[in-house]
Amino acid sequence: MSLRGRELLTSEERLELVRIPEDISEQELGRNFTLSNFDLELIKNRRRDYNRLGFAVQLCVLRFPGWSLNDAEPIPKKVLQHLARQLHVDPDCFSLYSSREA
């Protein structure tokens, strides 16, 4: 049986594969979105809070689950809060990062 011309997954199912779940567990959050000392050293070189948080989000999303930020958006508030706490920044500043002009 050929799958030619047919899709294995619907567009909604494909989106679910790349979306970080809103109800991400504390265990997954800790494992996949906790920054190492090396990460923090890289991140501190960014100038503004929103750049530091945006860089941290991109770094973590590239590691888990291996996508670009564009593929993984929207980033759940729980993830932003977890990363922002580690960086001592306001999680709401991420909107400045994701809305800036290219």
How far is Cα 96 from Cα 86, in angstroms, rounded to an integer? 19
Does residue 2 form part of some domain?
no
Establish if 65 belongs to a structural domain.
Answer: yes
Q: How far is CA 80 from CA 15, 37, 53, 74, in A?
A: 20, 18, 8, 10
For residue 43, is it within any domain? yes
Does any domain span residue 52?
yes
Q: How many domains would you assign to the chain?
A: 1
What is the per-residue pLDDT across 48-65, written as a single tens digit (0 to 9) for each? 999 999 999 999 999 887
Q: How many whole angstroms separate alpha carbon 4 and alpha carbon 59?
A: 36
Q: What is the pLDDT of residue 70?
A: 75
Single out the residue of 24, 15, 34 nearest to residue 87, CA to CA: 34
How many Å separate Cα 74 from the centre of its chain? 8
What is the span of the domain harbouring residue 33? 27-99
Residue 57 lies in a domain: yes
Look up tokens 């503004």; give the residue. Answer: 48
Q: What tens digit of pLDDT does each residue of 17-37 get?
A: 778 889 999 999 999 999 999
Residue 8 within any structural domain of the chain:
no
